[in-house]
Amino acid sequence: MITRRKVPRLTVKKPSIAVLGGGSWATALVKILTENHREVHWYIRSQEAKTYIEEQQHNPKYLRSATLKTKRLRITNDLNEAVAKAEFLLFVIPSAFVQAELKQLNIPLEGKIIFSAIKGVIPDRLEIMGEFFHRKYAIPYVNIGVITGPCHAEEVALEKISYLTVACQDLEKAKMLSRLLTTHYIRVTLSDDIIGTEYAAMLKNIYAIAAGIGHGLGYGDNFQSVLMSNAIREMKRFIKNLHKMKRNINASAYLGDLLVTGYSSFSRNRTLGNMLGKGYTVQAALSEMNMVAEGYYATASARMIKQSFKTRTPIIDAVYAVLYEEKKAVKVFSKLTKKLN
């Protein structure tokens, strides 16, 4: 269940915190956190990027318009160093690369509080991040949380009013992190639906690819509105089969995140879909993108996950046909239009 309320001020000491990942969303979270916290540990792989950020106060590849308070940053290329120094770990590494990054970890995660800002699934395990950390590393669910939208990193850089959802079974931990993420331009909502919000964050990327394909094919606003209406209902059916609990699918963490990702020009998944609709091959479209489109990996994972239950997912099926079965977008979406209502 999601609650919209002002996060109360806690009297406990601010936790030590580390952001793991160097992309645009990681950069946005670092920008937010350094406004409220005097010391933020940041793991990024590139030594060149580390040096550049420390000297220029900008990430050289991602979110260049965001000025970073480097005096409050402790940047490292050593994952173990960042993990060792923090109580709260914010994972912002693309889902397809999480396991490879964690292979270098040689210190235990026991006792750490892990929040995932990753909007995808571990491909070969078909697990969202919360499930992955619980099953592989025995992290209790009360020490696992999710940071989701609706929020684009680019608007955070511009300090436009934005909204985040922080989900955790232990709402005290959610409140603690929420305080660190609340600024004059960031509003925070709390939730205890760690499974549903994380699956929603994964699925909305697939639907954004669909929205992009429709746009690339020249379909108009009328189609897009019906597509989004069907997408939120499809999302509801999908998540309900995996985790039944009381949730309002029209809340910002679900519908709001879907809409901003499906409609925004900042959406990398919509951009991928737009290229496919215009006739790009999948490989050509992926090669032109300078950021990971999580929806590409999520589509294959969602298609495999749904085999365990019988639910209609015509939009996921259509995107899968274009991405993985090499079917022409124009033919696939012509058939899709007849399945929507």
State the DSSP code for 338.
T
Which residue in this structure is represented by tokens 């996060």? 7
- How many residues does the structure list for the chain? 341
Residue 171 burial by Cβ neighbours in a 10 Å radius (0-12, 13-18, 19+): middle
Give the DSSP H/E element, type plus range, for residue 163.
Answer: strand 162-168
Q: What is the spatial distance between Cα 178 and Cα 162, in angstroms, rounded to a whole number?
A: 13
State the DSSP code for 57: S
- Comparing CA positions, the residue from 102, 35, 97, 96 lying closest to residue 68 is 35
Active-site residue, from 50, 112, 119, 204: 204
Beta strands 2-3; 186-191: pairing state: antiparallel
Pairing state between β 40-43 and 186-191: unpaired
Task: Give the burial string for 138-153 (b: 16+ CB within 10 Å, else e).
Answer: ebeeebbbbbbbbbbb
Contact 122, 102 (CB under 8 A): no
Please say if 69 is a catalytic residue.
no
Rounded Cα distance between 227 and 159, Å, is 30
Please identify which residue in the block is written with the tokens 């001020």: 9
Q: Could you give the 3-state DSSP secondary structure of residue 145? A: strand
* Distance separating alpha carbons of residues 256 and 254, to the nearest angstrom: 6
In the chain, what is the straight-line distance between the N-terminal and C-terminal CA atoms, in Å? 28
Which residues belong to the active site?
Answer: 204
